[in-house]
Amino acid sequence: MAEGCKAIIKRGFPGDALNGAVHGDWQSSIENSLNALALLASGNPEYADAVRAQARKIGPPNLKLKLQNGMFTWPWSYANLFLTECYLATKDDAVLPAIREFTVKMSVGQGATGTWGHGFKVDGNNGTLGGYGAINQSGLICWMSMILGLQCGVNDPVVREAIERSRVFFGFYEC
């Protein structure tokens, strides 16, 4: 892990983290979120400044997201996963408004069955998910990051209802 973290620091975080997460540049956004999460998970205090800087790029306090067509579940879910884990580990209050914004908007964009697709349910697509239907990989990360958002203090009825819908849907597959 140490060599991997050194490589992440050496390479940095290419692209505009916020722009990628908000506007659907999903490949670099996911990579940056996961790399920052790896630095955080290392527990190495040498990486604290890089983690904090990346968290504040992805999660500025004035973040305003818009549910729209496109492949947004991927970058939003991984960004929120990183931000929630970062807050729970560091208690950096600066990222809380962004956590709330990601968590609530993902809840509103959830499909009626408790799932997500490449995209969200948005106005104008008759209540259906964007893309071609439910995709568990992106949906599980949305759900997990929303549960962590709840642990970060996002106490909103729409979030609790969305978490419960996902629990029912994914719980169907329990052994």
Q: Is the alpha carbon torsion for 47, 52, 104, 77 positive or negative?
A: negative
In whole angstroms, what is the distance from residue 1 CA to residue 78 CA? 20
Q: Report how many domains make up the chain.
A: 1
Range of the domain at 116: 2-171
Give 22's contacts (C-beta < 8 A, 6+ positions apart): 63, 65, 75
The whole-model pTM stands at 0.92
Q: What is the pLDDT of residues 12-41, one digit of tens each?
A: 888 765 666 665 556 678 899 999 999 999
Task: Count CA within 13 A, CB hemisphere, residue 104.
Answer: 15
Locus of tokens 């909103």: 156
Q: What is the pLDDT of residues 116-142, one digit of tens each?
A: 998 898 877 777 787 778 888 999 999
- Concatenate the DSSP letters of all residues of 101-166 into one string: HHHHHHHHT--TTS---SS-B-TTTTTPBSTTS--HHHHHHHHHHHHHHHHTT---HHHHHHHHHH
pLDDT band for 100, please (50, 70, 90 cuts). Answer: very high
> In the prediction, which pLDDT does 17 show?
59
> In the prediction, which pLDDT does 146 show?
97
* Strand partners of residue 129: 121
| 70 burial level (CB within 10 Å; 0-12, 13-18, 19+) | middle
DSSP single-letter state for residue 69: S
> In the prediction, which pLDDT does 20 show?
60
